[in-house]
Amino acid sequence: MKRLKLISTFIILTSLFSCEPPVTFTEPQPADTDNLSKFPKRLQGQYLSLADNSTLTISDKLIQRTYDYDYKVHTNQLDSTSRLSGDTIVDLTTNEKRIIKRDGDSLITHVHYIDTLFQIDYDNVVKKLKGYYFLNTRYDKTSWEVKKIRLAKGQLVISSISTKLDIDNLKEITETPTDTVPPYKFTATKKQFKEFIKNDRFSDSETFFRQKKNWL
């Protein structure tokens, strides 16, 4: 069984920004478009995910996701590297301690974790086109992962390219050979990228609902 300490770190693995991207671009998108020095005030604020009650916070240069909830695990999920002592679980390999509550044969631990998803810098570039904002994150020396942000009527939607329809459409628009294997790397002109957006791509999306506007 997995150790209890992995309860909080599993969040990293399921984060919106943590998986290996199936699609990258050879330069930040859209090409030939100025980078933004900060997120506009209309985007800044706090947003709630109804999927897991996590909170997304956007400041002038930063996007963070906060997880804050109780997690229940059965006592038989503890392995030999963990010891239950009163109201505390001790990781015998790291001496890490976690306070718990008992509920019959179950243990309840509180998870509070802040995940920095994006911070504007040399390797994280923001661009804007046609009312959309694009988060470009350097994947390696010659590749960039791109995500799309749209805010309308208090709903913030963060979208990525991952479906087969998205990839096939991008191959067609950029005239990329069909025998490439993932992760697919594309070179797209600004015109081609506009066409991709026009086709309503970036199909893999998560929606957040505004809780607070910019507090500055």
> What does the pLDDT look like over 61-120, one tens digit per residue?
999 999 988 878 777 777 778 788 888 888 888 888 888 888 888 888 888 889 999 999
Number of domains into which the chain is organized: 1
- C-alpha 187/C-alpha 86 separation (Å) is 58
Helix (H, G, I), strand (E, B) or coil at 176: coil
pTM of the predicted model as reported, rounded to 2 decimal places: 0.81
Label residues 117-126 b or e (16+ Cβ within 10 Å = b): bbebeeebbb
Q: What is the pLDDT along the chain (216 residues), one digit of tens a residue?
A: 344 444 444 444 445 665 677 899 999 999 999 999 999 999 999 999 998 889 999 999 999 999 988 878 777 777 778 788 888 888 888 888 888 888 888 888 888 889 999 999 999 999 999 899 999 999 999 999 999 999 999 999 999 998 889 999 999 999 887 666 778 899 999 999 999 998 888 988 999 999 976 654
Q: Is the distance from CB of 152 to CB of 13 less than 8 angstroms?
A: no
Q: Is residue 10 part of a domain?
A: no
Q: Which of 119, 104, 109 is nearest to 71 (CA)?
A: 109
**Three-class SS of residue 76?**
helix
The pLDDT, as a whole number, for residue 1 is: 33
Query: Is residue 107 a part of any domain in this protein?
Result: yes
pLDDT in the model for residue 11 = 46
Q: In this structure, is residue 166 part of a structural domain?
A: yes
* Residue 105: predicted pLDDT: 81
Residue 16 falls within a domain, yes or no?
A: no
| Residue 207: partners with Cβ closer than 8 Å, 6 or more residues away | 49, 50, 155, 156, 157
Domain containing residue 82: 21-211
d(CA 148, CA 134): 5
Domain assignment of residue 142, yes or no: yes
Q: Is residue 15 part of a domain?
A: no
Q: Does residue 8 lie within any of the structural domains?
A: no
* Residue 73 within any structural domain of the chain: yes
